[in-house]
Amino acid sequence: MPDKIVTVPASLPMQTRREPIAPSTVDTEARSVDVVFTTGAAVRRRRWTGWDSSVPFDEILEVSNAAVDLSRLNAGAPALDSHSIWSSFSQVGVVERAWIDGKEGKATIRFPREGIDQAADRMFGLISDGIIRNVSVGYSIDRAKVIEAEKKGDVEKRIVERWTPLEVSFVTVPADPRAQVRAADQTSYPIEIVETRSNKEAIMPESTTVVAGDDPAIIETRTQPVPPSAAGQQASPAPATPAASEMRAQPKASSPEMAAASDTEAIATRAREAERERVSTIYDLAGRLNLERNFAEDLVKRGVSIDESRRLILDQVAAKSEETRTFSQISIPLGGQDERTTRRDAVANALLHRYSPTLFQLEDAARQYRGMTLLELARESLADVGVNTRGLSRDEVATRALHSTSDFPEILSAVTNKTLRQAYDTYPRTFTLFCRQVLATDFKAMHRVQLGEAPQLLEVGESGEFKRGTLGESKESYRVKTYGRVVAITRQVLINDDLDAFTRIPAMYGNSIAQLESDVVWGIVTANPAMADGTALFHASHKNLAGSGAALDVTSVGAARAAMAKQTGLDKKTVLNIRPAFLIVPAALELKAEQLVAQNLVPAAISNVVPQSIRTLSPISEPRLDAADDKTWYLAASPNQIDTIEYAYLEGQQGAYIETRNGFDVDGVEIKCRLDFGAKAIDWRGLYKNPGA
């Protein structure tokens, strides 16, 4: 008797298979590669027969022009990175052409021009170098014939008679060539399954049983054996079982067998729908909670129920949250607070742009506030916090804006702070080049120890002892002092729309603070204060003061350099060989200093040549020196070689510091500007003075 064939409708997700790439087919000029995407070889897969049990089967692809539908590939199918279909960024190329060559399916894949896509360039480079050597095809099955095992030890075979390639992916080499994986795709494609039973078994279908297929989303219909006496009644193939929708449209069955088949099909339909709902629910929950795709796939493959999957997904989310590190010092503002901060910054930016369009570029969020007066902005700030300003006078709006919970005082403070800081940072402070900056932890006196050099090493004879040496030291001390001023922005400023009151005036204060720092440091140089040894900073006994003044020229600078090089340590023996790095002059000598150290000037006479060692000096011109003497000039070493003058800020208060509060003595906002600063000459050996002539 012939085999019994039963055709039933089902669905399968996209399948994948891997094939090796032949590196010789890579065309670097055309940026293309020819691949064999299928040979039709048997691939061992598994189908689930219960929640936690499965049986193997072999899937065999027929490869012929009649079996393979190449329309999708030849229409420009994508070439992907590892079957990732969730974003266009995963596409690294396109299928230019696909064809069947004997028992092989082949395709030409083209990559984009170099430099357009980094991921595509990387993939083409890995393929060209033979690093990526496998290609995998994603396909849908249109018709498959199922042949059950005839004897113990054999496995079921599924011969795919019609199938459609959907995409080609470049993948890594699997550990087991037969360990195939499914693409992460929830989309199912219709499939016609043909079942074939052996003549050794009864072939008259008595009842139909629903079992899970090779994917949890697949429901197959299998026939059960009947007594041999009934087999002879079916000598020819029976017609295909109709779909459930078709059976519902037909008249009521006229025999018990047809009624049983109809009930069975209804049960199978409900089972398919329930299974599809389970699969889609699991993938949806996992996706919304940002869980990994393979976690959801594991739940689907193991047949976990929806309720149990919800519990396991929540446990996984809780486990991931426990692994997340938290930082107590980071605060995340609430939505309303963040919006309020954004609006406040935008208003401040609009005012700063109005003050100086070149220094402060107008941001997009601030364009809506451009051109508004101070009083209009004050009214806007009150409205943002729910204050009704309708009917209020200009004076009342100004008063409430400065003394209410609106953002206007903070906006004024931000504008004042930025203008002051910008002016402070741009003021030229020339002393920073040769002085060292430190931070003071408090206002107590800071003691700076000037260590003497290590004593010379002495020869140690055989079985001799190492002799001990001592370090001499000298101590300098100074403290940080506080300087400050209060600026008031009154309601009159708002009413008069006087923007200069909290832009130009604070900028002037920023300049004055930077000037104060320069006054303190350069005052040390010009005042020539006493050091801890009771001797002035520049003194003959310190060997850093020229005996007689000399004009600024090669000879006098050379003598000053030699004097600094011959400075000794506190032991009066060790030569320090200090090399000056800066030539410090008053503004009156600036041009002469620049000519002396210029790198690109060639003198007419050899006698006027300036040695390279002098031309390496960096000139520093400071007009504060002119007030003391416009002929005196100095040399200074780098603070990295030896201490010169040290300046300090209070820790956490570097530079100008701004504080604001609602005024009590004045009707407005008070802005306090403060500077905590101090400076002191630490070592005289890194400085040299020539009175000039």
Whether 613 and 561 have beta carbons less than 8 Å apart is answered as yes
> Does residue 561 or residue 208 have the better pLDDT?
561
**pLDDT mean over 605-609:** 60
Residue 463: inside a domain? no
39 and 165 co-located in one domain: yes
CA 109 to chain centre: 33
Residue-wise pLDDT tens digits, 9-66: 444 555 555 555 654 678 888 899 998 888 888 888 877 665 556 778 888 889 999 9
Q: Which domain holds residue 234?
A: 5-241
Torsion angle of C-alpha atoms 382, 388, 394, 399, degrees rounded to 10: -50
167 and 51 co-located in one domain: yes
**Which of 241, 263, 279 finishes a domain?**
241
- Provide the pLDDT for residue 391: 84
Local structure of residue 652 (DSSP, 8 states): T
Q: Residue 115 class from Cβ within 10 Å (0-12 exposed, 13-18 middle, 19+ buried)?
A: exposed
Distance from C-alpha of 667 to C-alpha of 490, rounded to nearest angstrom: 6
- Provide the pLDDT for residue 451: 55
- Provide the pLDDT for residue 599: 67
- Provide the pLDDT for residue 216: 35
Residue 467: inside a domain? no
64 and 189 co-located in one domain: yes
- Provide the pLDDT for residue 173: 57
Residue type, position 513, single letter: I
29 and 144 co-located in one domain: yes
Distance from C-alpha of 299 to C-alpha of 295, rounded to nearest angstrom: 7
Distance from C-alpha of 594 to C-alpha of 618, rounded to nearest angstrom: 9
> Does residue 260 or residue 359 have the better pLDDT?
359
Residue 472: inside a domain? no
H-run or E-run covering 646: strand 645-650
CATH of the domain at 623: 3.90.1690.10
Residues 6+ apart with CB under 8 A from 200: 150
284 and 232 co-located in one domain: no
627 and 582 co-located in one domain: yes
Of 98-102, 265-269, 534-538, 547-551, the one with minimum mean pLDDT is: 265-269
- Provide the pLDDT for residue 96: 93
> Does residue 106 or residue 11 have the better pLDDT?
106
Residue 564: inside a domain? yes
**pLDDT mean over 401-412:** 76
Structure token digits, residue 177: 């060539």
**Which of 324, 355, 375 finishes a domain?**
324
Local structure of residue 295 (DSSP, 8 states): H
185 and 247 co-located in one domain: no
The dihedral region occupied by 385, where left means phi > 0, alpha psi between -120 and 50, and beta the remainder, is alpha
Residues 6+ apart with CB under 8 A from 634: 525, 583, 584, 585, 687, 688, 689, 690
- Provide the pLDDT for residue 208: 34
Dihedral sign for Cα 328, 331, 332, 335, please: positive
- Provide the pLDDT for residue 572: 76
Instruction: Kindly state the percentage of the chain with pLDDT values over 70.
Output: 74
Residue 651: inside a domain? yes
217 and 277 co-located in one domain: no
Residue 436: inside a domain? no
Local structure of residue 186 (DSSP, 8 states): -
Residue-wise pLDDT tens digits, 611-650: 877 888 999 999 999 999 999 999 999 999 898 999 999 9
Residue 455: inside a domain? no
- Provide the pLDDT for residue 139: 86
Of 32-41, 410-419, 516-525, 551-560, the one with minimum mean pLDDT is: 410-419
Residue-wise pLDDT tens digits, 434-481: 999 999 988 888 888 765 555 667 788 777 787 776 655 667 889 999
- Provide the pLDDT for residue 526: 94
**pLDDT mean over 569-597:** 88
pLDDT band at 604 (very low <50, low <70, confident <90, very high): low
Structure token digits, residue 220: 């197959």
79 and 215 co-located in one domain: yes
- Residue 212 clears pLDDT 60, i.e. is over it: no
Q: Total domain count for the chain?
A: 4
H-run or E-run covering 355: helix 335-355
234 and 86 co-located in one domain: yes
38 and 161 co-located in one domain: yes
- Provide the pLDDT for residue 529: 94
Residue-wise pLDDT tens digits, 288-302: 787 888 888 888 888
Distance from C-alpha of 684 to C-alpha of 688, rounded to nearest angstrom: 8
539 and 509 co-located in one domain: yes
Residue 465: inside a domain? no
Average pLDDT of the chain is 77
Q: b/e per residue, 471-498, with b = 16+ CB within 10 A?
A: eeebebebebeeeeeebbbbbebbbeeb
User: CA separation (Å) from 101 to 21, 65, 140, 161, 273?
Assistant: 16, 9, 20, 17, 40
Distance from C-alpha of 344 to C-alpha of 407, rounded to nearest angstrom: 7
Residue-wise pLDDT tens digits, 213-252: 334 333 333 333 333 333 333 333 333 334 333 333 344 4
Distance from C-alpha of 181 to C-alpha of 191, rounded to nearest angstrom: 19
**pLDDT mean over 169-179:** 55
